[in-house]
Amino acid sequence: MGFGDYPVEYDPKRHGPYDPARYYGKPDTPFGQLKLSEVGAWIGRRNKTPSAIAGVFSRAYWRWQHKYVQPKRGGIAPFLHYVFGAMTIFYVMNSNKIGRERRYKYH
């Protein structure tokens, strides 16, 4: 499987048009339905290669796109997601400066 190819599990005759937000592999038990004793085995069954991790982020991005950005009557939610994401990133980047300034006395 190269960069930009369809997943190996995807079969156009069986699955129909390709949807980048869908996982075409073998379905597994959802994490929320696991018992505590099954968590270790569930994590062991995960594919931990860089391409699999990139696929997880890609599917999450496309699910977000389909839910918030691409509907006919999309609202202000994607803009607010970007704004609050940028606020969080810049807060983390400047957290050291913010924490040091807390100890200053201005009087």
pLDDT of residue 103: 66
Q: What percent of the chain has pLDDT over 70?
A: 91
Q: How many domains in the chain?
A: 1
The CB-side HSE value for 99 (13 A sphere, CA atoms) comes to 6
69 φ/ψ angles, rounded to the nearest 5 degrees: -95, -40
Position 102 pLDDT exceeds 70: no
Confidence bin at 1 (pLDDT 50/70/90)? low
Q: Flag whether 81 is in a domain.
A: no
pLDDT of residue 4: 77
Q: Flag whether 98 is in a domain.
A: no
**Containing domain of residue 63, as a range?**
12-75
Q: Flag whether 58 is in a domain.
A: yes
Q: Flag whether 96 is in a domain.
A: no
What CA–CA distances, in Å, run from 105 to 63, 87, 99?
48, 26, 13
Position 13 pLDDT exceeds 90: yes
Write down the pTM of the prediction: 0.75
Q: Flag whether 88 is in a domain.
A: no
